[in-house]
Structure 1
Amino acid sequence: MNRRRPTFLAALTLTATAALTLSACGSDDKASGENDKIAGADTGGEASASASPSASDTGGRPEITFPADAKNVFEYQKTGDAAKDAVLADSTLSVNSVDEAIFKASTDTKALGFYNAESALSDSITYVNGYIDKQRTWVGETRYFDYKVNLVKDDQAYVTYCSDESKSFIKDKKTGKVDDTPTTADSYVLYNTKLAKSAEGVWQTTDIASERGSKTCQP
C-alpha cells in the first residue's frame, strides 16, 4: 500500500541538456488520489535541513501555512549560483503549496497557482481533489533530499530530487484514524520536475514526473 500519494502524474520531457545533469531520471507512473507525495516550501541553508512551511510573504509571495502535526523537510546545499538557488527555493515552495491545499481542503489557495502552472497546476488540482473527495489529509514528516538542478535557459530549469515518506501517513478526517503503514521501497519516490520563470520572477513548476520505489532514492 502506498503511503502518501499516487505517484505524480504528468509525463515530463527532458531536453538532452537537462538529461546530462539529471541522469537519475526514472520512468513516471500516472495516478490520482491520496497515496503519493508532492512538495514545496522553504529551503534550507548550507548543508542543513529546513522544515516547512515557509512564511514567505515578501515581494507579493503568499504565505504558506501547515498544521502543527505535519512537516516537510528539505535537505540540500546551496549551489552558490543565485539563479540555481532561486530555482531550488521555489521548487520547494511548489511542493508545500500543494500540501497546503490538501490541509485547507481547497484548490483555490493563493500559493497553489502562484508556484505551479501548466500541467503541473492541473495535475496538482486533480491530486488535491483526490484527498478532498475522500476527506483525507496527512500527518508526520516527509523528507526531501538528493537535489540536482540544471539551468538550461535564463527562464527554464530542471530539478530532480527524492522523497522519504517513511514518517508521513494518511489520516482520515472523519474518524481521525491514521494509517500507520510500514516502511517499504514504496516509501521512497524520485521526482523529475520542469520549472519556468514567470514574468514576476517566480520559478513555477510546470511539469512533474515521479517514480515510486525508485532504487535511486533507497537508503
Structure 2
Amino acid sequence: MRTRATTAAATLLATTTLLLTACGSSSDDAPSDKSPIAGADTGSSTPATPSATATADNIDRPSLKLPADVKNVFEGGTSGDPVKDAVLADNERMINSIDEAITVDANEHPALKFYNKDNALIAAATYIKTYYDSGTTWTGMTRYYDRKVTLAGEKAATMTYCADETKSYSKDRKTQKVKNTPGDADDYVSYNTRMRKSAQGVWETVSVVSRRGAEECQR
C-alpha cells in the first residue's frame, strides 16, 4: 500500500527543484508500511512500455524502465478512439515515470518531467521525495482499472481511474527487506486527472486528485 502523508504547499514548491535535478518525487502523501517501493538495487530493469495502447508516433520520448520486481498492470488500454487511446497511453507513461523515479536511483529522471507538468509535477516530485527521505522503495504489482477518458476539445482531457495496491509492498532501500503488510481498504485509490496535449503531441498530466479507501474501486 502506498499511503502518504499530506505535505504543505510550501514544502511542495521547495521540494520540486531538488527532485527534478536528482531522484525526483511524486504525489502528496507519504509512504507507509506497505508502500510499494523498490530498492536502490536496479540491476535487472525491464522496459515500462504502455500495454499495446499507443500507436506508433514520431515523438522523441525518453526511455522508461522499471526494476524486474516492480510491475504496473493497466486494464482497458484501448477504447477504439485513437485520441482517447493516446491519452490512455500517456497516462500509463506518466504513472510509470513516477514509479521509475521512486524505484530507480539515477541522477536524473527525464520521463518524469516529460509527462508531468505544473501542479502534477510539483506533487509528483514531492511524493517521490517521501520515499527517499524514509529510506524505502516498493516492490510487487499495482493494478489500474476502470480507466475512463473524457475529451474537452482537441487539446484537453480528463481521466478517472482506480488503483489496487493490495499486491504492492514497502521495501527497505538499504536492506531490501520487504514488508508484506496485509491489504486493506486504503489500498484502493481513485484518481481524477487533467491532461493537455502539448505542441509536440504529448498528453501531459497537469493535475492529479487522489482519494484512498475509495469504495467504488474496491473490487
What range describes the TM-score normalised by the shorter chain of this pair? 0.7 to 0.9
**Alignment of 1:104 onto 2:104:** yes
Unaligned runs of 5+ in 1: 11-29, 47-53
Q: Per the alignment, do residues 83 and 9 of structure 1 end up closer, same or farther by CA in structure 2, a change over 3 Å counting?
A: farther
What is aligned with 2:4? 6
Q: Counterpart in 2 of 1:32?
A: 29
TM-score relative to the length of structure 2: 0.78
CA distance in structure 1 between the partners assigned to 2:214 and 2:105 by the alignment:
29
Give the partner amino acid of 2:189: V
What residue is the counterpart of 2:51 in the other structure? 44
Structure 2 residue ranges without an equivalent (≥5): 9-26, 37-47
Give, in angstroms, the shift of residue 108 of structure 1. 2.9
Displacement after TM superposition at 1:9 (Å): 8.2
SS of 2:209's partner is strand
Counterpart AA for 1:184: D
Contact 2:49 2:64 (8 Å CA) reproduced? no
The sequence identity of aligned pairs, in percent, is: 45
1:41-87 Cα offsets, whole Å, 9 max, x none, are 643348xxxxxxx9x99631011001111100000151111111100
Q: Cα RMSD (Å) of the superposition? A: 2.5
Count how many residue pairs are aligned between Structure 1 and Structure 2: 187
Q: Quote how far apart the aligned CAs of 1:122 are.
A: 0.7
2:20 matched to which residue of 1? none
TM-score, with structure 1 as normaliser: 0.78
Tell me the distance in 2 between the aligned counterparts of 1:120 and 1:88.
Answer: 17
Corresponding position of 2:217: 217
C-alpha contact 1:9 1:123 (8 A) present in aligned 2: no
Contact 1:195–1:204 under 8 Å retained in 2: yes
Cross-structure match for 1:166: 166
Alpha-carbon distance in structure 1 between the residues aligned to 2:67 and 2:6: 23
Contact 1:142/1:165 (8 A) holds in 2: yes
Amino acid at match of 1:32: D
Name the aligned partner's letter for residue 139 of structure 2.
Answer: V
AA partner of residue 211 (structure 2) = E
